[in-house]
């Protein structure tokens, strides 16, 4: 695979914080944001509208996720593998509209985007 092909394909499955912010402001409702971190981390703060589905619960709960919407997955930070592992699992189970938030929650909050507490 050539570098141009690799990076072209890679970008199809990634989104950055401004991309999510733009989606939120657009009024588009054809997406769902999934936090793959642990429940305590979710309670401390998460991206607005995100649902909590820790990677440990994914096998039992993934059928709750709609297949007709874009699924945006995130975890702690750029070195966290929870979101890519969740994406691979979902792809193997028939989901094909999946993207990963690059940098995870750390990048989202570091850039000053809104964070919701609780749940």
Q: What angle do CA 117, 39, 103 make, to 5 degrees?
A: 75
Contacts of 107 (CB under 8 A, 6+ apart): 16, 17, 77, 78, 101
Q: Quick: pLDDT tens for 88-100.
A: 999 999 999 999 9
Q: Quick: pLDDT tens for 7-44.
A: 999 899 999 999 999 999 998 999 999 999 999 999 99
Q: Which residues are catalytic?
A: 75
The token pair that represents 77 in the structure block: 């930070």
Predicted local distance difference test score (pLDDT) of residue 34: 98
Which CATH code of 3.30.930.10, 2.40.100.20, 3.30.540.10, 3.40.250.10 fits the domain covering 3-110?
3.40.250.10
Predicted local distance difference test score (pLDDT) of residue 118: 76
Predicted local distance difference test score (pLDDT) of residue 119: 66
**Alpha helices per DSSP H over the chain:** 3-11, 17-26, 39-44, 58-61, 82-92, 104-110
The token pair that represents 41 in the structure block: 């981390």
For the chain, give the mean pLDDT: 95
Q: What pTM was computed for the model?
A: 0.93
Region 48-57: mean pLDDT is 96
Domain-wise residue ranges, the chain: 3-110
With pLDDT > 90 as the criterion, what percentage of the chain qualifies? 95
């Amino acid at each position: 695979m050539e570098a141009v092909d690799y990076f072209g394909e890679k970008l199809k499955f990634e989104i950055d914080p401004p991309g999510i912010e733009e989606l939120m402001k657009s009024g588009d409702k054809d997406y769902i944001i999934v936090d793959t971190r642990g429940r305590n981390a979710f309670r401390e703060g998460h991206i607005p509208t995100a649902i909590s589905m820790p990677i440990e619960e994914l096998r039992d709960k993934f059928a709750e996720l709609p297949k007709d919407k874009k699924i945006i997955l995130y975890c702690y930070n750029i070195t966290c593998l929870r979101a890519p592992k969740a994406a691979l699992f979902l792809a193997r189970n028939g989901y094909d509209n999946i993207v990963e938030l690059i940098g995870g929650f750390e990048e989202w909050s570091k850039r000053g985007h809104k964070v919701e507490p609780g749940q």
